[in-house]
Structure formats: structure tokens, C-alpha cells
Amino acid sequence: MQTAAEPSAVAARVRRVAESATLAIDARAKALKAAGEDVVGFGAGEPDFPTPAHIVAAAQRACADPANHRYSPTAGLPALRAAIARKTARDSGLEVSPDEVLVANGGKHALYTVFQALLDPGDEVLLPAPYWVSYPEQIALAGGRAVAVPTDVGSGFRVSVEQLDAARTPRTKALLFVSPSNPTGAVYPPDVVAAIGRWAEDTGLWVITDEIYEHLVYGDARFVSMPAVVEGLRDRCIVVNGVAKTYAMTGWRVGWSIAPVPFTRAMTRLQSHATSNVGNVAQAAALAAVEGPLNDVATMRATYDRRRRVAHERLDAIEGVVCPLPEGAFYAFPSVEGVLGRDVGGRRVTTAAQLCEALLDCAKVALVPGEGFGAPGYVRLSYALSDEDLVKGLERIAAALA
Ligand code: GLU
């Protein structure tokens, strides 16, 4: 967001970029905590678990190896690219070659590079809304145009093929697909993933599928990877993933894209001028993660499963709040329409942004307003925080909105 103090020398395309709403609220909550305030942070989605010990140990060993003190290939350590290919076959049944894998500084960086390599000025990307805050900004920075396709609580936050088709124009180049979804927690059933994939195949669109929450599905929900169920889409599909959410490794910054080889080569050329290689120690940690077992994520998943029910029950019980039970990821995304117009903490709130401001000031809870996700009238809460903080924060919200 442009501020009065921003120098006019800043390039127009950067002046137009909004600050990441998730990181902004996270930074604010962490700063208040550091200043001694008892703030409960529902802001940025990041696991409250430490990175598993065997992964940390691998990083410690890598630190001591002088080979890791030097540049390494831009596209990623060969052993890691091969391990990501094996992990992809193991977890989603998608057979890929290591040459299709490009290691990046987190899933967010992988997405940035994908949009830069895919979009020409004016190319449109269909973006089911609510969407994660960084997608439209990254699309715009690549010269593209994000075309939001709206969903709501009533549709389970899922777009239909009919909606997508109605939003398609001759300029549409790609669909951004994410399931389990950040910010809504929705998971598309396998038959709907297949139907959307077949539609994209028939219409000749590219699909970018963000699979960062693949292991965080609950109850009857099931994750399927679109190119694994729609073989014909393989030549025009880019999978984005990373270690952050599965292995509690948000701060290590290792993600990747998987794309057809010529496309991965193009992205590697771009990355060779932008970042060179991802830190070798972090790559060694990621290698230990993806080669290792999935038992830690099973424990985390069971914990999030418990917490999502608590978040759903307590939020949905608040008059004016409608909170569906999330099916995946670790976000609750309630509608707060029914609360707007009330006084909260002594001030009238008419937007989700004002509500979040008021709740931070009067109840010391940090939530992300829906506006940044293309969903005014909603708020996002990450429930990847301790059980104790979760209940404390939800009690505070209920009291403030009573
Ligand atoms: N993906 C997380 C979130 O949405 C991390 C913060 C960010 O990068 O936006 O909260």
C-alpha cells in the first residue's frame, strides 16, 4: 500500500504492491509480544512445533562440511531434486524426473518465479477467491491480471467448472488451484479436482497447483494432486510445494516447483540472476525431511485436527459469526458479517479490517482481515498455535463480541 512518505522514485509497479497482510499482522503481534504484551497470534500460519530433531541434526552436520560453504547449482542440490521427485511419487503418485524440479527459497519464491516465467503483459490468471494474499500481487508484478472467481461459505469455498468457464476470456492463460486451501481450509473432493483438471486440459489452460498443505487434511477429506489424476494436463501443469508446513520448517525457506523440463530450464535461468542457489544448509535439512518418515506430520495433523474442532465450535457459537469446520490446512475462515455494525472495544466496526484492529487493541488477539484475501466480511485465524493460546484467544474473541 502506498504511503504518503513513499518516495516517488519507487517504481510504479512496486508502489502498487500491497504489503503482505499475513506477514504484517504477524510482525505486529510478535512486536507486541516482544514488548511484553500478552498477545495471542492467530496471524501468519506457521506450525508451533519445532522442526523434527533428525532434520536439525542433518543441518548441523551440513554446516560443518566445507562443500556447503560454496555456491551450488542454481536449480538445487542434485540429491535434493532427486529426493523431491521420489517424494512426489510417494505422496501424490505423480512420477516426475529430477530435471523437472527447481528448488526455491520457499513455496512463495517458487510461485513468484513461476508467474514471472509464465505471464506476458495482460495475461489473465483465474484465481478462486478467497485467495492467499500473495497470489494477486505476484501475478501483477509479472504483468499479469488476476481474475477473481468468488466463492463463499455457502459454496464451501469451492469454485465450480461452470464458474471458471464463465470467467475465461481469450486472454486467460492459467488457473491457480489450491487444495487444501489457504485461507479457507476447504479441500476439493477428488472427483471435482479431476473435473477441473479435465476442463483445463480441454481449454488449453495452464494450471499452477499449490500443494503446500497436502498432508494436512482431516476427517473424510482427501488430498489429490491434479496432474496425478489428469494425465493429459502434465505438459501444462506446475506443482508448487515445500517443506514449511509438513515438517514445521517455515523459517528454513525451502520450496520447489515441478514443471515440464523446458519450463524448469527457463525458470532456472531466471533464478540464476535472482538468487543463485538456495542456502546449502537449508537444502540439506530439506533433504533429510523429504527422505525421512512422515510420522512427525501425523502427530501434528492429529493435533491440528483437535484444534480445528475447538476453533470451529467456539467461533461458530458466537452470535453473528459463521464458521464452517475446516477440512484442511490450519486455518479457520469465519464470516463476521453478522458482527459488523456493532461496537467492539468501545468503537463501531463496519469492516473486517476495523474489527481486527479493535480485537488487537481491546482483546489482544491478532487475526488477519479478509480484505487481503479478496473476502471482505471474513477473518482468518491460524489454529497452528498451542492449545492453551488457542482457547485463551477464542475466549477473548467471544468476550469482546458478546
Ligand atoms: N502462508 C502463511 C500464511 O498465509 C505464511 C505467511 C505468508 O507468507 O503469507 O500465513
Q: What is the 3-state secondary structure (H, E, C) of 335-379?
A: ECHHHCCCEECCEECCCHHHHHHHHHHHHCEECEEHHHHCCCCEE
List beta partners, residue 124: 145, 172
Q: What is the mean pLDDT of residues 268-285?
A: 98
pLDDT in tens, 212-270: 999 999 999 999 999 999 999 999 999 999 999 999 999 999 999 999 999 999 999 99
Residue type present at position 236: R
Query: For residue 7, is it within any domain?
Result: no
Cell 477428488 found at: 190
Q: Is residue 384 part of a domain?
A: yes
Query: Are residue 265 and residue 340 in the same domain, yes or no?
Result: no
C-alpha cell at 357: 484492529
Q: Do 223 and 193 meet the contact criterion of CB atoms below 8 Å apart?
A: no
Examine the domain organization and report whether 162 and 17 are in the same domain: no
Please indicate, yes or no, if residue 1 is contained in any of the structural domains.
Answer: no
Is 2 a domain residue?
Answer: no
Q: Are residues 142 and 186 in the same domain?
A: yes
Same-domain status, 340 and 314: yes
Supply the pLDDT for residue 25. Answer: 86
* Mean pLDDT of the chain, nearest integer: 95
pLDDT in the model for residue 365: 96
Cβ atoms of 368 and 43 within 8 Å: the answer is yes
* Judgement on whether residues 355 and 247 belong to the same structural domain of the protein: no
pLDDT per residue as tens digits for the range 76-107: 999 999 999 999 999 999 999 999 999 999 99
Closest CA to 44 of 396, 366, 373: 366
What atom in ligand 1 is closest to the CA of residue 182? 4
pLDDT over 80 at 4, yes or no: no
What is residue 28's predicted lDDT score, i.e. its pLDDT? 87
- Indicate the DSSP class of residue 117: H
- The answer to whether residues 361 and 236 belong to one domain is no
* 191 pLDDT more than 90: yes
Q: For 325-363, how does the pLDDT look when each residue is reduced to its tens digit (9 = 90+)?
A: 999 999 999 999 999 999 999 999 999 999 999 999 999
Q: Please check whether residue 225 lies inside any domain of the structure.
A: yes
Residue 318 inside a domain? The answer is yes
Give the model confidence (pLDDT) of 48-60 as tens digits: 999 999 999 999 9
Residue 176 and residue 216 in one domain: yes
Pairing of β 172-178 and β 124-129: parallel
Last residue of a domain, one of 291, 320, 354: 291
In sequence order, the 6+-apart residues with CB closer than 8 A to the CB of 147 are 124, 125, 126, 127, 167, 169, 172
Distance 108 CA to ligand 1 centre (A): 9
- Domain end, chosen from 242, 275, 291, is at 291
Q: What is the Cα–Cα distance from 125 to 130, expressed in whole angstroms?
A: 14
185-198: b (≥16 Cβ within 10 Å) or e: bbbbbbebbbbbbb
pLDDT tens, position by position, 192-211: 999 999 999 999 999 999 99
**pTM for this one?**
0.95
Q: What is the DSSP letter of 228?
A: H
The alpha carbon of 26 and the centre of ligand 1 are apart by a number of angstroms equal to 9
- Looking at residue 1, its pLDDT comes to 47
Rounded distance from Cα 71 to ligand 1 centre (Å): 28
End-to-end CA gap in the chain? 33
Look up the domain containing 187 and give its range. Answer: 53-291
Cβ-Cβ contacts under 8 Å for 140 (sequence gap 6 or more): 13, 16, 17, 146
Please give the share of the chain, as a percent, with pLDDT higher than 70: 99
Cα–Cα distance measured from residue 400 to residue 352, given in angstroms and rounded to the nearest whole number: 14
Answer yes or no: do 279 and 303 share one domain.
no
**Ligand 1: does its nearest atom lie under 6 Å from the Cβ of 333?**
no
* pLDDT for 5 beyond 80: no
Give me the CATH number covering residue 344. 3.90.1150.10
- Asked whether residue 102 falls in the same domain as residue 22, the answer is no
Model confidence at 8, pLDDT cuts 50, 70, 90, reads: confident
In this structure, the answer to whether residues 75 and 40 fall within a common structural domain is no
Distance separating alpha carbons of residues 127 and 159, to the nearest angstrom = 10
Q: Is the pLDDT of residue 2 over 70?
A: no
Q: Which mutation among 22, 333, 380 tests ligand 1's pocket best, with the greatest number of atoms within 8 A of CB?
A: 22
Q: How far apart are CA 366 and CA 44, in angstroms?
A: 9
Residue 222 and residue 229: Cα distance in Å, rounded?
13
Question: Does residue 3 belong to any structural domain of this protein?
Answer: no
Backbone angles phi, psi at 262, to 5 degrees: -60, -35
SS3 164: helix
Q: Mean pLDDT throughout 153-160?
A: 93
Last residue of a domain, one of 269, 291, 313: 291
> Do 170 and 72 share a structural domain?
yes
**Is a pLDDT exceeding 70 seen at residue 38?**
yes
Q: How far is the CA of 23 from the centre of ligand 1 (A)?
A: 7
* Number of domains comprising the chain: 2
